[in-house]
Amino acid sequence: GMMTMISVLLALLSAGAAGALIRESANSIAAFKRSFLPSESVVLLGNSNFDKIVECNGVFIDKTLFIKEFVKCKKEVSVILRPRRFGKSSNLSMLNSFLSINPTSDAKEIRSFFDRCRIGEDLDFMSRNFRQHPVIWLNLKDCAGNSWQEMFNNLWICVRDMYLPHLEQLSDAPALRQFDFHSGTAPSSTLVQWSLKLLTEMLYFKHGRKRVIVLVDEYDAPLNCAFRKGFYDEASSFFGIFFSRALKDNNYLKQACLMGIVEVRGAEILSTLNNIHVCSVDKVDFSEHFGFSVQEVSVFFEDKNDNRIASVLEWYDGYVIGSTTVINPWSFLNFIEL
C-alpha cells in the first residue's frame, strides 16, 4: 500500500540512493531493483558462510585472489586487521572452503564456482591447492563472558566446534581420548591450552605428514571482552600460551591466518611469535581483498554512467586500505538489498 511505498522510498534515501528516486513510481522502483542485482542473485545480509553463499546464489564480489596472496605469503602467521563489517569472516570462510581437504560441502559445486572466478584462471594453482590441505577453523566470536570462568567455558565450546569436523577421521587417535566432546563441562585449563597445537599434530600425521593451515576468526574478541569486564590479566595469560604453543615453532604448522579488528599487544600474543605479518589498514598487503572497489560495484549497474554510482560513492566510498580506496561492504549490501 501507500505506507509501504513511503517506507521503501525513505529507506532508499537513508541508504544514500539518489534523491531523484523519490519521484519514481512503484514500477520504476521495481525496475531499479531488477537492474541493480545481476542475474537472480540474493543478498544474504549478515551471512559470512561461503558455502551457503554459493548454494543460495548469494551476491558475491570476486575476492578469490585473496586465497592466492595468502598461500604465496612468505610469512608463517598473517594477522589481518580490518574494521567491522569488512568481509573478514566471509574471506576466511572462503579460504577454508577452498583449501580444506576435509570439506563440509560438495566439492564439484564449489570447484565449478571457483573455476568461474578470477582464481580459476590459474589452473596450476587450482590443481595444487584446491582442497589439498588439512585446515583447522577456530571461531572465537562467541568466546565471551562476565568472568574468566564463564569465558573459559565458552572457549571450550569454541574448541569443541573446532574439533568436530575432524572427529570421524581422527577416531583412532589416542590423544583424542583426553577430551569428552559430549560433556558440557570443560576439561582442565592445561588441556585446553594445548588443544590447538594437539589438533595440528594429529592432522599432520593423519594426512601423511602434510603441514596444517590454521584459520582463526575474531582472534581478538576474547581479550577485548576481558578488558571491558575486568579480567584481562587472566585471559591474556591464558591466550598468550594458547596461541604461542600452536603458532610458534610448531613443526606441524604450514601457515596461519588470524582475523581481527585490533592488534592485541599487552599480552604479547603476537610479539612472541616468529615470522609474523601484521597487516593493519595502512599496509598494502591484502588491501584489495577487503571492501569493494568502484569497479567491483559498477557491475551492479547496467549503465556504467548511471548517476546512482556517484550517489553510492558519495555515501560509502570513505575508506582507504593500504593504497586502495574502498566502499564499505555492509553499507553497500544494505543499499542493494532494499
Q: What's the pLDDT tens digit per position in 214-223?
A: 999 999 999 9
Distance (Å, whole) CA 46 – CA 182: 30
The residue type found at 267 is A
107 CB-side CA count, 13 A:
9
**Per-residue pLDDT at 40 exceeds 70:** no
Determine, yes or no, domain membership for 326: yes
Residue 213 and residue 126 in one domain = yes
pLDDT given at position 230: 96
Residue 222 and residue 261 in one domain = yes
**Per-residue pLDDT at 19 exceeds 60:** no
Q: Which of 249, 273, 288 is the last residue of a domain?
A: 288
Q: How confident is the model at residue 192 (pLDDT cuts 50, 70, 90)?
A: very high
Query: CA 80: distance to chain centroid?
Result: 10
At 161, give phi and psi (nearest 5°). Answer: -65, -30
Distance (Å, whole) CA 324 – CA 312: 17
Q: How confident is the model at residue 310 (pLDDT cuts 50, 70, 90)?
A: confident
Determine, yes or no, domain membership for 202: yes
Residue 149 and residue 179 in one domain = yes
Average pLDDT of the chain, as a whole number: 82
**Per-residue pLDDT at 198 exceeds 60:** yes
Q: What is the CATH number of the domain that holds 145?
A: 3.40.50
* Alpha-helix runs per DSSP H in the chain: 2-14, 26-36, 50-55, 65-72, 88-99, 107-115, 123-129, 148-163, 189-206, 221-229, 232-247, 294-298, 307-316, 329-337
pLDDT given at position 271: 67
Residue 188 and residue 226 in one domain = yes
Q: Which of 247, 266, 288 is the last residue of a domain?
A: 288
- Comparison of pLDDT for 55 and 65, the residue scoring more: 65
- Comparison of pLDDT for 337 and 88, the residue scoring more: 88
Residue 316 and residue 228 in one domain = no
Residue 313 and residue 187 in one domain = no
Residue 184 and residue 308 in one domain = no
Q: How confident is the model at residue 10 (pLDDT cuts 50, 70, 90)?
A: very low
Residue 207 and residue 295 in one domain = no
Q: How confident is the model at residue 262 (pLDDT cuts 50, 70, 90)?
A: confident
pTM of the model: 0.83
Determine, yes or no, domain membership for 166: yes
- In order of 53, 59, 66, the CA distances from 42 in angstroms are 9, 6, 23
Please choose, from the candidates 215, 204, 210, the residue with its C-alpha nearest in 3D space to the C-alpha of residue 77.
215
pLDDT given at position 328: 83
Residue 220 and residue 257 in one domain = yes
Q: What DSSP string describes 198-244? A: HHHHHHHHHTTSPPEEEEEESTTHHHHHHHHHT-HHHHHHHHHHHHH
Residue 263 and residue 138 in one domain = yes
Percent of the chain at pLDDT > 70 equals 81
* Alpha-helix runs per DSSP H in 230-293: 232-247
Q: Which of 247, 262, 288 is the last residue of a domain?
A: 288
Residue 188 and residue 299 in one domain = no
Distance (Å, whole) CA 55 – CA 101: 19
Please choose, from the candidates 87, 80, 84, 61, the residue with its C-alpha nearest in 3D space to the C-alpha of residue 282.
80
Determine, yes or no, domain membership for 10: no
Mean pLDDT lowest for which of 11-15, 112-116, 182-186, 259-263?
A: 11-15
173's grid cell: 587417535
* Number of structural domains in the chain: 2
**Per-residue pLDDT at 266 exceeds 90:** no
**Per-residue pLDDT at 76 exceeds 80:** yes
Please choose, from the candidates 321, 286, 324, the residue with its C-alpha nearest in 3D space to the C-alpha of residue 70.
286
Residue 81 and residue 102 in one domain = yes
Domain range for 323: 291-337
Determine, yes or no, domain membership for 188: yes
Determine, yes or no, domain membership for 27: no
